[in-house]
A and B are shown apart, each in its own frame.
Chain A
Amino acid sequence: MKNNLLISHRWKTLGWILAVPAFFAGIYLMYLDSPDDYFQVTVPRWLEGFLWVDDGFWNSTVKPTTLSLLDEVICISLLLGLLLLAFSKEKIEDEWIQRVRLESLQWAILINTLLLIAFTIFMHGFIFVAVMELNMFTPLLVFVGRFYYVLRIKPSFSKQ
């Protein structure tokens, strides 16, 4: 089966290395009292003009001199790791695996959309923004979770 969007199987290892620690670090981050105190870096002057820091209703008057990169590093590691896991080929990439890919993608979009609808109905104010942050990861998390469940975990329940 030809699929030009998929990358080499070798990227899978890097995917796991990035995604798993970032996933747990992300959970830990949610319980930190002041996550912005960690991993502080000074913003170079030339970069200030490119940063948008919202200090009110779409105002961007404050230019930060220091930024905490902890959440950015965790977020990008998790997204990149999950992306590598989702787009790297299996050792033998055959037509049934392609179908599992398609089904997993459908599950991911379905669950993500149902969650979005539920959040929109039940969450209001700041909590809505907070759950939306988590919602950034749901499509890839559901995809990767379902794909590897069908391929690796489910067969061990039903050995021939």
Chain B
Amino acid sequence: MKNTIRVERAILNISQAELAERVQVTRQTINAIELGKYSPSAVLAIKIARVFGKKMEDVFELEEGD
């Protein structure tokens, strides 16, 4: 699953740690999601999208093979 978290963070000007705090996960989790090493649960994906004021599908996108 691809995502635009890094771009969205840049727009809001928040660090991985700040985003992590807002959605109550560790910074490593945000890092793993950004790098595409981990696909978050639906709950976490919705929470992340909400921080950016967007819908889940605007931040996360299915890749071929998903």
Which residues does A use to contact B, with CB under 8 Å?
90, 92, 94-97, 99, 151, 155, 160
Please report the total number of B residues contacting A with Cβ < 8 Å.
13
A99 vs B28: C-alpha distance when bound (angstroms)? 12
Q: Which residue of A lies closest to B21 (CB)?
A: A92
The yes or no answer to B13 lying at the interface (CB within 8 A) is no
Closest to A90 in B: B26
Q: Hey, which chain B residues are within 8 Å of A99, CB to CB?
A: 38
Check if A97 sits within 8 Å of B26, measured CB to CB: yes
A94-B44, A96-B26 given; 8 more Cβ-contact pairs under 8 Å: A90-B26, A92-B26, A94-B25, A94-B26, A95-B41, A95-B44, A96-B25, A160-B31
In the A-B complex, the 7 residue pairs with the closest CB atoms: A96-B29, A94-B25, A92-B26, A94-B29, A96-B38, A96-B32, A95-B41
Within 8 A of A (CB), among B15-66: 16, 24-26, 28-29, 31-33, 38, 40-41, 44
The chain B residue sitting closest to A97, CB to CB, is: B26
List B contacts of A97 (CB < 8 A): 26, 28-29
Pairwise interchain contact B29-A155, C-beta atoms closer than 8 A = no
Contact of B25 among A92, A151, A155, A160 (CB under 8 A): A92
For B31, give the chain A residue with the smallest CB separation: A160
Q: How many Å from the CB of A99 to the closest CB on chain B?
A: 7
Residues from chain B with a CB closer than 8 A to the CB of A90 are 26
Nearest A-chain residue to B40, judged by Cβ: A95
Chain B: CB-nearest residue to A151: B28
Question: Do the beta carbons of B16 and A155 come within 8 Å of each other?
Answer: no
Known A99-B38, A160-B16; contact A92-B24, beta-carbon cutoff 8 A: yes
